[in-house]
Chains A and B, each alone.
Chain A
C-alpha cells in the first residue's frame, strides 16, 4: 500500500494544483465581498492539496512495514484491472463519435474475457445481443434519446 498511497497522494496533489489554478481563472462576476464562483473550488483544492501532500509525505517517509500488504497480489491481477479499465476508457472515448450501441459492444467484448467466458463465439454473441436489447428496450420501447453516433441515420428511435 505504500506505493499505492504515494501514487494516490501525488495524483491528487497534481489534481488539486490544477483545479486551484483553474479556479483562479474564473471570473468573479458581481462583487460579493470578493467571493466569486471560484471561491469554493479554490479553497477546496487548497484543502485537498494539503491533505494529499500530507498523505504523500507520510507515504514517502514512513517505513514499509507500517503499511498494509500490497494492493495487487500479482502482476496478472493488475493486468486484468488495467484491461477492464482500458475497456471502460475506450467505451467512454468512442461514445460520442460511434454511439452508445457500438461503445457498449466494445465494453462487453473487452470485459467479458476477464469476468466471464473466453469462448470468442459467446463473447461475440453477447457483444451483439446486449446493444440490440438495449436499443429495443430503451430506444424503441421507452423512447429514450440514446446517443446513436454514426448509427443515427441507420437506426431511428422515433
Chain B
C-alpha cells in the first residue's frame, strides 16, 4: 500500500506541466542526438548535462530520463533509414526495419519501433517496479558460471539466426569474439593484442564494430551499385506511420514477448538482449516479405 502511495506521489510530481515540458524537450533532444551514429544515450546525456544546471534535481532527472529514452529511440531512425545503427541497442532493428524501408515503408517501421519502444519500455518499468525485490535476489544468485551459460545461450542462437551457412555464422562468432579480446585482461591486468597502441587498451567498443559492420557494408554496397537517389516529394501524413491491423498482429509478439521481457533478465546488457529476441521478430518478416527491388526511400 505504501508503495502505491509513493507511486501516486511520483506521478503527481512528474505530471506537472513544467516537468512534462522538460521531459518532452529532453526526449526531443535525445531523439536528435540518438539519430547521430556513434553518439548513444550515455554520450548524449554527458553532452547535454550542462542544460540541467540550475534546475531543481527532480526536474533535471525527469529531463535526463526523457533524453535517455529519446536517444534510445533515436538510434532506430538511422537503423531503419540507412541501415546504420545509431547506438548499440538498435543493431537488430537494422534487420527488419531497413528491409521495410526498402519496401518504401520506412514510416511504418519507425512508427512500429516507436510504439514498440513505448510498450516494451512501459512493461519493463512495470515489471521492474513489481518484481524488483525477487529480481534482485535472482540477480544476486548469478555468478560467473551462470553468466557464462547465459552468454553461451546467446552464442547458440547464432545457429537459429542464420538462414544460410552455419559455417559462416560460426566464423563470424569466432571473429566477433576475437575482436572483443584486445585490451586489458580482466584477471591478470596484462595488455593483450594491443600491438603497442594505447588506444586499444580500453578494448574495441561494440558500437564502433556495429557501425563499421552495417555502415561500411552499406556504403560499399551502394558504391558497387550505381547509387540512384530518389526523393519523394509527396506529403506524408502522420497517420501513415500508424501500423494497420495486420502489422499490429505481426508486431505484437516481438514487442510484448521478446523485447519487453528480455530486458528483465539480469545478465545481458542492451547489445546482448536483442539477438536472443530476434527469432520472435521473424514473424514480422514472414508477414512482410521482402521484394526484389532494393533501392527506395522514405514514404511511398
A→B interface (CB under 8 Å) = 12, 19, 22-23, 26-30, 32, 35-38, 40-41, 44-45, 47-48, 51-52, 54-55, 58, 72-73, 77-78, 80-81, 83-85, 88, 111, 114-115, 142
- Count residues of B near A (Cβ-Cβ below 8 Å): 27
> Residues 161-179 of chain B: 1 if any A CB is under 8 Å from the residue's CB, otherwise 0?
0000001101100110110
- B192 proximal to A (CB < 8 A): yes
Q: Are A36 and B190 CB-contacts (below 8 A) given A55-B167, A72-B224, A81-B223?
A: yes
Contact between A115 and B227, CB atoms less than 8 A apart:
yes
Give the shortest distance, in Å, between B63 (CB) and chain A (any CB): 18
Give the shortest distance, in Å, between A87 (CB) and chain B (any CB): 10
Give the shortest distance, in Å, between A2 (CB) and chain B (any CB): 13
Residues of A within 8 A of B226 (CB): 80
Give the shortest distance, in Å, between A133 (CB) and chain B (any CB): 13
Q: Are A29 and B185 CB-contacts (below 8 A) given A12-B175, A23-B193, A55-B171?
A: yes
Contact between B222 and A51, CB atoms less than 8 A apart:
no
For the complex, give the distance between the alpha carbons of A80 and B170 in Å.
30
For the complex, give the distance between the alpha carbons of A11 and B222 in Å.
24
Closest to A84 in B: B223
B→A interface (CB under 8 Å) = 47, 167-168, 170-171, 174-175, 177-178, 181, 185, 187-193, 216, 219-220, 222-227
Give the shortest distance, in Å, between B1 (CB) and chain A (any CB): 47
Q: Are A114 and B178 CB-contacts (below 8 A) given A37-B192, A48-B171?
A: no
Contact between A48 and B174, CB atoms less than 8 A apart:
yes
For the complex, give the distance between the alpha carbons of A45 and B192 in Å.
14
Contact between B167 and A54, CB atoms less than 8 A apart:
yes
Contact between A29 and B190, CB atoms less than 8 A apart:
yes
Can you sample 13 A-B contacts with CB below 8 Å?
A12-B175, A23-B192, A26-B193, A27-B188, A29-B185, A29-B188, A32-B188, A36-B190, A41-B192, A45-B178, A48-B175, A84-B220, A111-B223
Residues of A within 8 A of B187 (CB): 29-30, 32, 35, 37
Contact between A114 and B223, CB atoms less than 8 A apart:
yes
For the complex, give the distance between the alpha carbons of A29 and B168 in Å.
34
Residues of A within 8 A of B193 (CB): 19, 22-23, 26, 41
Residues of B within 8 A of A80 (CB): 223-224, 226
